[in-house]
Structure 1
Amino acid sequence: MSTMTNTSTKNLVDTAAANGSFKTFGKAIERAGMSDTLRGVGPFTVFAPTDAAFDKLPAGKLENLFKPENKEELVSILNYHVVSGRKTMADIGKSETAKTVNGQSAPIMLTNDRVSIDGARVTSADIGSSNGVIHGIDKVNIPTKQ
């Protein structure tokens, strides 16, 4: 697959914001209070659901997750999209699972040179940042344990 695009001087949060297709993910990170972590040293690998992926959630689900009383669940879901370390698509394609920051492993499948994590297809890979890498995915993954 592609090699890492420019290792940007922007951190993960700012890189996602600059990309333009991760607006909802950025809002979710802010609401969950995870901005400082993802702006920190890292490195992290983030499987960021695109705005279109968030649009696929059942009606009202996102609004519900954004309520202050559901912050813990939102953090758990977002942490299920984060892996410690800087993992390129080439690294991920060699694995069968990814140990997420929320503690649960997400299954990885390689089908016809297409990588998916817990059923979400990687739609944009190896978006480099100063403290990690972002891979855009086409669905919001929900961990079985929250």
Structure 2
Amino acid sequence: MNTRILTLSVASAAILGLAACNSGGETEAPAADAAATDTAAMEPAAPAATGTVVTVAQGNPDFTTLVSAVQAAELVETLNGAGPFTVFAPTNAAFEKIPAATRESLMAPAGKADLTGILTYHVVPGNVSAAALAEQITAGGGQAQLTTVQGGTLTARANADGSITLTDAAGNTSRVVQADVAATNGVIHAIDTVVMPG
């Protein structure tokens, strides 16, 4: 149980950092003004990506915990790579749902392996926009299975209000609270709860 909580805190921190990198940006509409108009949640003019998922997270004070976790797990170089990466990044508030003692344990050198597993469970290979994810959910009859860099699976489902919910291996759920934060090597979707690999 303690390990599971630690894993949650680590994942939350890592994702938060990544989300911070681009929390101020919006995903670019695929070269169609109509797409932006059709999606009420998107801003009309999304700023171009100016940094990697890590850089974008580092520039946002709401993702300081995630950035710290990514640094502790020594994943900065990896996430600054070409990618592309789709990062489901827990906000600082999501990370704070995890007990302080668990967070501290994960951030300690002895917790590096668990932290790495949690953080990479929040990353999916490729650049999956909210629209593309919605299409996958529709094609999957109401849900989409996402294989993470960690090797586990996240299940994405659409809600009646148009938002997307992720269910982790343990059956816990997290909601995407900000989608399509653009980065030069992928996209960040901020989530309200840390997901766990199992």
TM-score interval for Structure 1 and Structure 2 normalised by the shorter chain: over 0.9
Aligned pair partner of 1:101 in 149, 154, 167: 149
Partner of 1:133: 187
* Aligned residue identity for 2:197: P
Stretches of structure 2 lacking an aligned partner (at least 5 in a row): 1-38, 138-143, 168-172
Partner of 2:159: 111
The structure carrying a bigger helix percent of its residues is: 2
TM-score normalised by the chain length of structure 2: 0.69
CA distance in 2, matches of 1:51, 1:123: 13
Task: After superposition, give the CA deviation of every residue in 1:2-28 in whole Å (9 maximum; x if it has no partner).
Answer: 379434121110111213211101100
Structure with the greater alpha carbon radius of gyration: 2
Cα displacement (A) at 1:48: 0.6
Q: Aligned with 2:62: secondary structure?
A: coil
Aligned pair partner of 1:122 in 165, 169, 176: 176
Aligned pair partner of 2:56 in 5, 8, 15: 15
Partner of 1:40: 81
Stretches of structure 1 lacking an aligned partner (at least 5 in a row): none
Q: CA RMSD in A?
A: 1.5
CA distance in 1, matches of 2:101, 2:109: 15
8 Å contact from structure 1 (residues 41, 131) kept in 2: yes
Identity across matched positions, percent: 38
TM-score normalised by the chain length of structure 1: 0.93
Cα displacement (A) at 1:116: 1.3
Q: Aligned with 1:10: secondary structure?
A: coil
8 Å contact from structure 1 (residues 5, 127) kept in 2: no
Cα displacement (A) at 1:43: 0.5
Partner of 1:60: 101
